[in-house]
């Protein structure tokens, strides 16, 4: 486990607050939020889960009282990820955007929109 001050990802204050509410409501206020890459066939997705302990290879990033885990294997693909929480008249949701995803996966046969998958 590494506790680092350098942030790999950006989580807005409102998103931190909403994640903390979710942990509190689940009676997991001392747990970690784990952000990872999940591969399904040829598509890549972000996975967010609640973990009670740090696993081998995980680094801990602190956002106030929110503790976020990222495994070293996922760091390159998560670098620059921006997580926000938005509300409008239709509802609310967490949004994830990674502007670096285009640079990592842009190729001649397809392109990337930065949302986490490439066509």
Residue 4 lies in a domain: no
Residue 64 lies in a domain: yes
Residue 20 lies in a domain: yes
Q: What is the CATH number of the domain that holds 50?
A: 2.60.300.12
Distances (CA, A) of 59 to 26, 48, 54, 77, 99: 23, 15, 8, 15, 22
Residue 111 lies in a domain: no
> What per-residue confidence (pLDDT) applies to 1?
41
pLDDT along the chain (119 residues), means of 10: 65 96 94 92 87 96 95 92 94 89 52 48
Residue 53 lies in a domain: yes
Q: How many domains does the chain have?
A: 1
> What per-residue confidence (pLDDT) applies to 6?
65
Long-range contacts for 17-20 (Cβ within 8 Å, ≥24 apart)?
Answer: 17/85, 18/85, 18/94, 19/66, 20/64, 20/65, 20/66
> What per-residue confidence (pLDDT) applies to 24?
95
Residue 5 lies in a domain: no
Strands across the sheet containing 58-63 = 2-4, 58-63, 66-71, 32-40, 43-51
Range of the domain at 66: 10-97
> What per-residue confidence (pLDDT) applies to 48?
94
């Amino acid at each position: 486990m590494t506790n680092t001050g350098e942030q790999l990802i950006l989580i807005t204050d409102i998103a931190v607050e909403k994640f903390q509410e979710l942990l509190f409501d689940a009676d997991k206020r001392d747990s970690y939020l784990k952000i990872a890459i999940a591969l399904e066939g040829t598509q890549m997705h972000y996975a967010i889960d609640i973990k009670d302990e740090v696993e081998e290879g995980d680094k801990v990033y602190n956002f106030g009282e929110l503790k976020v885990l990222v495994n070293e294997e996922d760091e390159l693909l998560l670098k620059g990820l921006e997580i926000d929480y938005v509300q409008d008249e239709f509802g609310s949701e967490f949004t994830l955007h990674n502007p670096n995803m285009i640079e990592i996966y842009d190729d001649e046969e397809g392109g990337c929109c930065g949302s986490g998958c490439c066509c």
